[in-house]
Amino acid sequence: MQNIIAKFIIHLLILVSSNLFSSEEDLPVIGDSSSSVISIASEYNLGRLYMAQLRRTLPEYIDPVSQDYSEHLVYRLSEFSELTDRRLEIALIDEKSVNAFAAPGGIIGINAGLIFHAETEGQFASVLSHELAHLSQRHFARRMQRQKDRSLANSLMILGSIALAGATSNPNALLVGQQAITQQNLSFSRGDEQEADRIGFKNMVSAGFDPKSTSYMFEKLQSLSRLSGSNELEFLRSHPLTKNRIADAQSRAQGFENKTTEIHLIMIL
C-alpha cells in the first residue's frame, strides 16, 4: 500500500511540475508579471499537494462548529475580495499559538489559538481578510517572479519529500517534513504585508465589520506578546507588528470614520 501511495505522489509531482513550467501554459494576464511564473491553475494544483501534506504532518483541530464558522466567514469575506478563483480550503490546526497563513491555491490555515484569542468577530475577520488579500494579490507567485530562480521547483521537491516521508512512515523524514512545512508558511516581503493590510482592511470594512477591528487585533497581539514573549506568537514572526503597521491601521480606521462623518453631514445639509 505504501508503494502505491508513493507512486501516486510521484506521478502527481510530475503532473504538477509539468503544468508549472510548460510552455503551453495559459498566457499571462497583461500587467500581471506573476502569471509568467505560475498560472492560477498550477497554483491550485500546488495548493492541493500542500494541503494534503499539511493534514498529514500537523495536528488538525477537529471541531465541526469552529470549522463551519471559519469556512462561512472566509467565504463571506471572499465575496468582497479581488479573488478570481474562490476554490478555497480552510484548515484548522490544533496549536495554541496565535497564527494564520495563506498558501498558494486558496489555502487558509488557522491556528486554534487565533479563534480562542480573538475577542470579537471583527478581530478574527481582520486577520482572515489579510490572508485573503495575500491570495488575491498572488503574493506567492509574485515572490517567485522577484526571485527569478528555481525556488518554485525547489519548493515542489520539498513538498514531494514530505509526501514520500508520510507514505513510508519514516519518523526522521517526517520531522524534516514538518520543519519544511513550517518554513513554507510563506513569509512575505514587507511590501506584500503592507499591501495585504491595505486591501484586507478595505474588504473587511466592505463586508460590514468595524474599521477599528484591525487596530484592536494588533493591540491584542501586543498584549499577548508582552505576556508570553513575541517568540511564542508565531503570527508575529511571519507578520512583524511594527510601529508603522500599527499606526497605519489606526490611521485607516480614523480616515474611514472621518469620511463617514462627512457623508452624514452632507446628507443632513
Q: What is the pLDDT of residue 33?
A: 47
Residue 76 · residue 110 · CB < 8 Å: no
Catalytic residue among 43, 89, 131, 210: 131
* 197 included as an active-site residue: yes
- Is pLDDT larger for residue 50 or for residue 267? 50
Strand 107-111 and strand 89-93: the pairing is parallel
Q: What is the pLDDT of residue 139?
A: 85
153 HSE (CA, 13 A, CB side): 8
Q: Which amino acid is at 139?
A: H
Q: Quickly state the pLDDT bin for 146 (edges 50, 70, 90).
A: low
For residue 80, give the nearest of 210, 215, 193, 200 by alpha carbon.
200
Q: Quickly state the pLDDT bin for 233 (edges 50, 70, 90).
A: low
Q: What is the pLDDT of residue 214?
A: 94
Q: What is the pLDDT of residue 158?
A: 53
Share of the chain above pLDDT 70, in %: 61
Least confident of 210-214, 221-225, 245-249: 221-225
Average pLDDT of the residues in 11-21:
50
Q: Quickly state the pLDDT bin for 240 (edges 50, 70, 90).
A: confident
pLDDT one-digit tens code per residue, 148-166: 544 555 555 555 554 554 4
- How far is the C-alpha of 163 from the C-alpha of 177, rounded, in Å? 8
- Is pLDDT larger for residue 230 or for residue 228? 228
- Domain spans, the chain: 2-25+37-268
Please report how the helices 121-136 and 64-78 are oriented relative to each other, as an axis angle in degrees rounded to 10: 60
pLDDT one-digit tens code per residue, 53-102: 888 888 999 999 999 999 999 999 999 999 988 899 999 999 888 889 99
Within 10 angstroms of residue 250's Cβ, the number of other Cβ atoms is: 16
- Is pLDDT larger for residue 19 or for residue 120? 120
Q: What is the pLDDT of residue 196?
A: 92
pLDDT one-digit tens code per residue, 99-135: 899 988 899 999 999 999 999 999 999 999 999 999 9
Catalytic residue among 43, 197, 210, 234: 197
- Is pLDDT larger for residue 2 or for residue 60? 60
Which residues are within 8 A (CB) of 170 and not within 5 positions of it... i.e. 6 or more apart?
none
pLDDT of residue 268 exceeding 50, the answer is no
Q: What is the reported pTM?
A: 0.72
- Is pLDDT larger for residue 96 or for residue 234? 96
Q: What is the mean pLDDT of the chain?
A: 75
* 149 included as an active-site residue: no
